[in-house]
Chains A and B, each alone.
Chain A
Amino acid sequence: MIKKGTGMACMFYPNGSTGKANPAGAFIKINHDGTAVLNIGATDIGQGSNTCMAQIAAQEMGLKLSQVRVVTGDTELTPYDAGTGACRVTYIAGNAVQKTARKAKRLLLDAAARKMGLIHSGQLVIEEGEIFLRYWPAKRMTIAEAATYSERILGQPIIAVDSYSPATMPLEEESGQGMPFEVSIYATQIAEVEVDTDTGEVKVTKLVAVHDCGKMLNPMLVEGQIEGGVVTGIGYGLYEQIIEDPVEGGIRNPSLATYQIPTSLDVPEDMVIDCVEIPEEKGPYGAKGVSEPTCNPTAPAIINAIYNATGVRIRDLPATREKVLFALRELERKEEG
């Protein structure tokens, strides 16, 4: 018999590591042709951080995305970064990039003000490769001109360096007090499952994932991160387990045929992904992060849905067919008395 059920799980998840320094650095240089080179330690492992970091730099300095070249993934050339993990890149490296881009922008505006004969750059706007006077837009020059003027005439190349590390406080051992994380991310996921009570097979038929990642800097990337995380969470909840050999030692299923990750057929067609965009005031343009916690609430939501469908509570992941089937039989026996 097929039994249907729904389950929910909520979570919060921190950005960065617990109560420790967690820095990211950035260098920016603006060339004479108005293009920029952004040099960061944060590594893109497919989540799209290079795009996001370039977006932040471009936005801040009034450049087109295509005018920012990102150099990354080489510790010989790039500043230090604590690594791609714990959902920290958008927030921490993003803040470093924004701070650095602001410095570069300041240099550009100062140079432009000098060139235009202004004594203060406060009324200058930088947008789409150009710098102009807010209430007199005809008074304008290109970023390329400002950068060249700054370097050639003022003797100040447009180069900027900065870094960011979240403000945290180590936990005090006795009281447990402190500030482990600067910001946290929140999410809720709801899973709908079908449990086949004859085979123990669990199928996730629908999954709703709603995340608060602050302002989405790139909605398509955010969506991709959540979809990928949810599917990893399905694997964690239902299929994936490392089987150790208790006698010989070693791992008994060291291949993709025996260690099973979800395939396209294990993914619910009905996946609803949404974001609650509550801007995080400390994040770059209000962003926090999204990726790592996307797979956290999935397995608990599935386990709750199995309970809702059948009354059995699986306490040991993954909820394989055998486990579900044994638990169902156990429950039957108990009910029979």
Chain B
Amino acid sequence: MSEKVAVSLKINGKEVTLLAAPEQNLLRLLRENGYVEVKCGCEEGDCGTCTVLLDGLSVKSCVTPACACEGREVWTAAGVSRQERIGRLLRDNFAKYGASQCGFCTPGMMVTGVNYLMNNGVPDRQAIRAAISGNLCRCTGYKKIIDAIYHTAQELRRETAGEGML
């Protein structure tokens, strides 16, 4: 084992310094330090359940070297789902529309969903399908996940339209 190096980064809004081995991926670094909401499915970049936001971009943490995250900002599913307004709304809609069964894909789907909503965020089922196509789900058949993101997009849109009118 090579010697560990200190990596300073911001996780879910908090500054932390963690020790990472040079070959370690971000997924392991996060899980070893208690961020176990980030799930490990394949560790090969195929399934998407380890997805996190890295400086606003959704990345698969299992193929992101931990040391490359020095000075960067990471948001996990637990972090984003507590955030007003997108994260909370999406989390509630996941529950409301039954978008989670075994739940294994859910942390990745939440992060990818939030990423979709914070960027373009149009209530367009085709675009949502394309956005989550890197996240595999074995249980739901995707329909209810798409429903949850779609309805969140619609609600956010309605809110913005309401503000515009004021």
A227 to B45, CA, bound (A): 26
Kindly list chain A residues whose C-beta atoms are within 8 Å of the C-beta of B137.
Answer: 264
Query: A16-24, A44-52, A126-134, A320-328: which one contacts chain B?
Result: A44-52
Interface bits B117-145 vs A (CB < 8 Å: 1, else 0): 00000000110011011111111111111
Interface bits A194-232 vs B (CB < 8 Å: 1, else 0): 000000000000000000000000001101100111111
What's the least CB distance linking B4 to chain A, in Å?
Answer: 29
Kindly list chain A residues whose C-beta atoms are within 8 Å of the C-beta of B135.
Answer: 264
A260 to B125, CA, bound (A): 23
Structural contact, B141 and A231, CB atoms closer than 8 A: yes
Structural contact, A256 and B139, CB atoms closer than 8 A: no
In the complex, which residues 94-123 of chain B have their Cβ closer than 8 Å to any Cβ of chain A? 98, 100-103
Q: Which of A47, A255, A263 contacts B44 (CB 8 A)?
A: A255
Structural contact, B141 and A228, CB atoms closer than 8 A: yes
Assess A267 versus B102: contact at CB under 8 Å? Given A255-B46, A256-B46, A257-B46. no
Kindly list chain A residues whose C-beta atoms are within 8 Å of the C-beta of B101.
Answer: 46-48, 224, 228
Q: Which of B47, B130, B132 contacts A256 (CB 8 A)?
A: B47
Category for how many chain B residues contact A: 20 to 34
Kindly list chain B residues whose C-beta atoms are within 8 Å of the C-beta of A221.
Answer: 98
A118 to B93, CA, bound (A): 49
A122 to B48, CA, bound (A): 57
Kindly list chain B residues whose C-beta atoms are within 8 Å of the C-beta of A263.
Answer: 133-134, 136, 142
Kindly list chain B residues whose C-beta atoms are within 8 Å of the C-beta of A223.
Answer: 98, 144
A230 to B46, CA, bound (A): 22
Structural contact, B142 and A231, CB atoms closer than 8 A: yes
B52 interfacial by beta-carbon distance below 8 Å: no
Interface bits A233-267 vs B (CB < 8 Å: 1, else 0): 00000000000000000000001110001011101
Kindly list chain A residues whose C-beta atoms are within 8 Å of the C-beta of B129.
Answer: 264-265, 267, 269
Q: How many A-B residue pairs have CB under 8 A?
A: 74
Structural contact, A255 and B42, CB atoms closer than 8 A: yes
A265 to B130, CA, bound (A): 6
What's the least CB distance linking B107 to chain A, in Å?
Answer: 14
What's the least CB distance linking A124 to chain B, in Å?
Answer: 36
What's the least CB distance linking B122 to chain A, in Å?
Answer: 16
Q: Which of B42, B46, B47, B144 contacts A227 (CB 8 A)?
A: B144
Kindly list chain B residues whose C-beta atoms are within 8 Å of the C-beta of A261.
Answer: 136, 138
Structural contact, B46 and A264, CB atoms closer than 8 A: no
Q: Which of A224, A265, A269 contacts B98 (CB 8 A)?
A: A224
A161 interfacial by beta-carbon distance below 8 Å: no
In the complex, which residues 65-115 of chain A have their Cβ closer than 8 Å to any Cβ of chain B? none
Structural contact, B133 and A256, CB atoms closer than 8 A: no
Assess A264 versus B146: contact at CB under 8 Å? Given A224-B101, A255-B42, A256-B42. yes
Residue of B nearest to A219 (CB): B98
Assess A256 versus B141: contact at CB under 8 Å? Given A224-B101, A264-B146. no
In the complex, which residues 71-111 of chain B have their Cβ closer than 8 Å to any Cβ of chain A? 98, 100-103
List the 4 closest pairs (A to B, CB-CB), nearest first. A46-B102, A227-B141, A231-B141, A46-B101
Q: A231-B141, A257-B46, A267-B129 are in contact. List 16 more A-B contacts (CB 8 A).
A: A46-B103, A48-B101, A220-B98, A223-B144, A224-B144, A228-B140, A228-B141, A229-B141, A230-B141, A256-B44, A261-B136, A261-B138, A263-B133, A264-B133, A264-B137, A265-B129
